[in-house]
Chain A
Amino acid sequence: MPKHPSSAPVFIKKAALSAMFAISLLTTAAMPAKADIKIGFQVPLTGPAATDGKSAQIAGQMAVDDINAAGGVNGEKIQLVTYDDQAKSDQAIFTANKLIGEDGVKLVVNGSYSASGRAAAPVFQQAGVVMISAYGVHPDITKAGDYNFRLVHLGPPQGAATALYIGKTLGLKKISAITMDNDYGQATMDGFVGAAPKYGVEVLNKYSYSLKDRQFGSIVASVKRDNPDAVYATGYFFTAGPLVAQLRAAGITVPIIGSQAFDSEKFIEIAGPAADGTYIMDSFDRDRKDEKLQKFFSGFKEKAGYSPEGVAAITYSSFMLMADAIKRAGSAEPAKVRDALAATKNFPILEGTLNGFNSLHEIIMPISVNVIKDGKFKSAGMITDLDAFAPPEK
């Protein structure tokens, strides 16, 4: 044995080294699991959708900061992995694959438009990654499979709720209907037209306009001829502002009821005094006496320099819901989080109380209505008859 006096120490050294190596391996492997739950985040930060994207990004970051400040979820912090999807489908698929492959993300909030959510949903479904689409309204998003959820009402239910609100709540019967000619606008309008007879609402005439258009002279002239009790219009703030201004300038004084995407401070800015008396469907109630909402409002305004719009609020809510689902699942494992999300019951979000999801993972939730008074959003009630605007089932 003593023939090789040096062999023992060498062996010990080797053993010690390999032990250290093994330990270091273990610790590095354990580190991310202990430190963070990654949540992927797709937002349009460049391109024409960047306005909404910026708001969503600020709100998403606020949500994650708030969650982490409150101690994280299940003792772990949330780490946000953000990608710009430009609200384009190719970019959405590219960043979805990046989130899955490079970042190893299992949970995603899509804070972008339909084109993005619709393209990304099947990719995430395939990879078994949970996605909440904060405000993407295309039906295909949830149809991609059970890992996909949507936190906003689809167009047709919103349209149906609008018919109820106009016919029953406002008691107005003769309507001129104006829609932007994209999928969402058409689908919402179809929901409205389909439900209208139930509430004695008659659609006098239907007009459509291109999203790029800002001059509505002939529609305005036609509405004047229609002489309706009210005008119902779908659109975004940048079409809605000029539209409402031009309707009012032509002396049309009847109530104007706008779709959800009217909801923006910018709408009031563009339409100016003409904005008054415009109802906005599914618009979040800014006055609700809710501590979280008021805190979000002031916090957002401080960070962004402007008041949050619906897009910001719903993105914040999406993260809060995801965190809550992880908590209820007791794990960040996607299948468990999916089941927890599907089982959501009466969860408070900024918009009110989320009753839950249906079989297709569409939200079940009352719709709140705002009206603009003196240039401010004011609550104009809540549509609670959930059966009247039930989303499609699986």
Chain B
Amino acid sequence: MLTLDRLSCGYGSVQAAHDVSLHVTKGSIFALLGPNGAGKTSTIMAVMGHIDIQGGSILLEGADITKRRAIDRVRLGVALVPEGRQLFSDLTVDENLTVGGYAFPASSDAAKRERVFSYFPRLYERRNQMSGSLSGGEQQMLAIGRALMAEPRLLLVDELSLGLMPKMVDLCLDALLALKREGLTIVLIEQNTARALDVADQVCVLSSGLQVYQGTAAEAKAAGSMFAKFLGMGDEVAPG
């Protein structure tokens, strides 16, 4: 589904990710892990088209989208659940969903909305409420719902569990698993490694912008503390 080929990206002269190569298979959940500042967010923002690509390429189902404008990527089937949710806080729940489906005909809105509400009935109850006044969990549901309105083939989820109660994390992860069963491909960035390995098929660990581990979730789990070391690793390991 998604292939990154020696992708380097960053901000001006700062390089946030260096030579990242990975492949996400269709219909799988791919966990992108790593310590703070590792370059996870930067990598998926590069896929979304929001930061400078300094080298390498991004392929979506074999098609090179490296040079496509951010605004066009949603129509190619990529949707984002951004870090910290980033809802349109002075828009209502309904309006946030409308924006989610902005790139697609209004006529398809109603059906998609139904689908979102079927995953997250809470949102239906709150549909006329300002999104800024939702609880953290509800906000995360809305962020996912908003992305679903964009009819994605590839869903990029950044820090799903951040600041959520365990119950809410369960609910959201269940939703992601259900979506996966429906054939959606998901890249998931998570701080909670255990939960991520539970749901993921493949894992990649970034550290200081470099890819330090890649494998299946089962392998990672089996490696146990060895694997945990990668996540704990700081700058001292980073080669030059």
Direct A–B touching in the complex (beta carbon < 8 Å)? no
**Residues of B near any A CB (own CB < 8 A):** none
**Residues of A near any B CB (own CB < 8 A):** none
